[in-house]
Structure 1
Amino acid sequence: MTETLGIAGSGVIATGLAACAARTGGHVLWARSEDSADRARVVIAKVCERLGDSHVAANVQVTTDLAEMSHASFLVEAIAEDLALKSEILGRLGKLARTDAVITSTTSSLCIESLAAASGRPECFSGLHVFNPVPKMRLVEVAFPAKATTDTRRRVHELCIALDKEAVETPAVPGFVVNGLLFPFLFNAVEYLDRTGLAPETIDACMQLGAGHPMGPITLLDYIGLDVCVAIGDALGLEVPHRLRSLVVEGATGKKARRGLYPAAHYST
């Protein structure tokens, strides 16, 4: 791969992307704190090991100094799905980036034009929506602001090929294709759960066995994280089920908290 990645973030998307890129050469991942950096190193090493390339984890430099990103040719913002936070980081990246660098965001629901403007470099900006778990999911939704150059578009598509991903260019609208269609369905499943009193397992089994879904909607919501789902729903202007907001307030955010729409007992085994 000809690009050198600089990834801003230390969560599952950032570390998954870093692990996928590790086999292609040297890259940089930025974390906000030393604790986050330590956790990111552990996760990247584990993912690389699962991919059968444990030795390549050393190709990813994990740092807490954002200035280390200035050498990268391709910058990826991959922090929490919050417009203010993303805009702040993108603005900093735009100021330190090489003049020839492409700047991207892994947003799944926010306005591409707004993020591009925040970077100060809309001509070299792109949405780069990768899916979790990054090593397994081949789809990348790419979306461009109106000012994006032909060269920017080419390099984004070439990066996806180098990472063995399938890039699909989508309209630059919040939610793109997948989340724009998926979240109304997921929220409807929660409302159906409340309306009928069915067990989560029953709804999931029906959609898996009857509709061929690899994962039922209730399990998927817990897997994504209910806090993330609420944020995405708000960004898309959807009516978020009250039950989801209440669970998030309680700290029951799904699988990562070991309780969510499924009770704690479900995650105790």
Structure 2
Amino acid sequence: MGSGIAQCIAEHGMRVFILDSNPEIVKKAVSKISERLQRAVDSGEITSDHRKEIFEKICIVENLNQAEDADFVIEAIIEDIENKKNLFNRLDKIFSNDIVLASNTSSLSISEIAKSANHPERIAGMHFFNPAYKMKLVEVVKGIKTSRDTIEKTKKLANILEKIPVEVNDTPGFIVNRILIPMINEAAFALQDNVADKESIDTAMKLGAAHPMGPLALADLIGIDVCLHIMESLEKNLNNPKYKPCELLKQMVKENKLGRKTGQGFYTYKK
């Protein structure tokens, strides 16, 4: 997701710093951006000169201090609350107090993340959807202590990126994942219970519910591990058995059948 967000920002003429504790992840992110932009050139969406201009906006840095003059910070690390809290504690100390610190978390509490900082009022959720350089929606999440100014700055950036920001309170799953992921989970149950095969389930939802993509194919796009993590988070934080993850999802994660990113999920993909 981080590479998609960085690409989106660069495509809108802004300089973007990319940083990860693992240099290999940065290398892969830049490679993905390069490949996507080249496909855009090949399809006639952009020119080679425009591709070069976009790519020149992307700056790789080795530590946070090298990006301390940034006007806005977006975190997109793994969905682990302690890792995020530790990072935001560091971000809060490095960046000036008027800079928004936004998390791209898909399910974790913004209020909990903000507890690690001395200035929780400048921390908000800015949840992009995959692929971030194409999908129009951004969920702007208001934590308990998030200021109105922080929310407005976050919505303003979303508008600059030609996104549609939707403001949401800090609740498990926010809007989309609170509704979407349980539907995917139910589709997995339908497959597990032999209601129908995967193609029939997806076709039924596309034609019967006017969905552009079936729930199982969508799960492969999102990532089976991500879907499972969100379901586990919903079950834990809402304390409701209706959010119990399907065993099929758990088994697929154990077998590293995570969807498109591993080449195998509910469907098989060429890497």
TM-score (norm 1): 0.89
User: In structure 2, how many angstroms separate the alpha carbons of the residues matched to 1:216 and 1:120?
Assistant: 44
> Are 1:191 and 2:180 matched, yes or no?
no
Q: Where do residues 1-269 of structure 1 align in structure 2 (5 Å cutoff)? A: 13-22=1-10, 23-49=12-38, 50=40, 52=46, 53-55=50-52, 56-237=54-235, 238-262=243-267, 266-268=268-270
User: In structure 2, how many angstroms separate the alpha carbons of the residues matched to 1:219 and 1:64?
Assistant: 36
User: In structure 2, how many angstroms separate the alpha carbons of the residues matched to 1:196 and 1:111?
Assistant: 36
Residues 19-40 of structure 1, C-alpha deviations (whole Å, 9 max, x = no match):
1111322221112222222222
How far the C-alpha of 1:261 sits from its partner, in A, is 2.3
Q: Is the 8 A contact 1:37 1:64 kept in 2?
A: no
Secondary structure, aligned partner of 2:107: coil
How far the C-alpha of 1:268 sits from its partner, in A, is 4.7
Secondary structure, aligned partner of 1:136: coil
Q: Is the 8 A contact 1:81 1:232 kept in 2?
A: no
Bigger Cα displacement from structure 2, 54-63 vs 162-171: 54-63
Q: Which amino acid aligns with 2:153?
A: R
How far the C-alpha of 1:197 sits from its partner, in A, is 4.7
Q: Is the 8 A contact 1:31 1:62 kept in 2?
A: no
User: In structure 2, how many angstroms separate the alpha carbons of the residues matched to 1:97 and 1:48?
Assistant: 31
Residues 8-66 of structure 1, C-alpha deviations (whole Å, 9 max, x = no match):
xxxxx211111111132222111222222222222223334426231211111012322
Q: Is the 8 A contact 2:19 2:26 kept in 1?
A: yes
Summarize the Cα distance change of 1:268–1:126 in structure 2 as closer, same or farther, 3 Å threshold: closer
Alignment correspondent of 2:238: none
Unaligned runs of 5+ in 1: 1-12
Q: Which amino acid aligns with 2:62?
A: T
- Identical columns (%): 34
Q: Which amino acid aligns with 1:245?
A: K
How far the C-alpha of 1:126 sits from its partner, in A, is 0.7
Q: Which amino acid aligns with 1:20?
A: C
Secondary structure, aligned partner of 1:259: coil
Q: Which amino acid aligns with 1:246?
A: Q
Unaligned runs of 5+ in 2: 236-242
User: In structure 1, how many angstroms separate the alpha carbons of the residues matched to 2:176 and 2:22?
Assistant: 32
User: In structure 2, how many angstroms separate the alpha carbons of the residues matched to 1:46 and 1:239?
Assistant: 38
Length, aligned pairs only? 254
State the 4+ residue runs in structure 1 displaced beyond 4 angstroms: none
User: In structure 1, how many angstroms separate the alpha carbons of the residues matched to 2:128 and 2:117?
Assistant: 20
How far the C-alpha of 1:114 sits from its partner, in A, is 0.3
- Over the aligned positions, Cα root-mean-square deviation in angstroms equals 1.6
Q: Is the 8 A contact 1:109 1:174 kept in 2?
A: yes
Q: Is the 8 A contact 1:108 1:179 kept in 2?
A: yes
TM-score (norm 2): 0.88
Q: Is the 8 A contact 1:73 1:98 kept in 2?
A: no
Q: Is the 8 A contact 2:61 2:67 kept in 1?
A: no
Secondary structure, aligned partner of 2:140: strand
User: In structure 1, how many angstroms separate the alpha carbons of the residues matched to 2:35 and 2:164?
Assistant: 24
Q: Is the 8 A contact 1:106 1:129 kept in 2?
A: yes
User: In structure 2, how many angstroms separate the alpha carbons of the residues matched to 1:73 and 1:107?
Assistant: 20
How far the C-alpha of 1:120 sits from its partner, in A, is 3.3
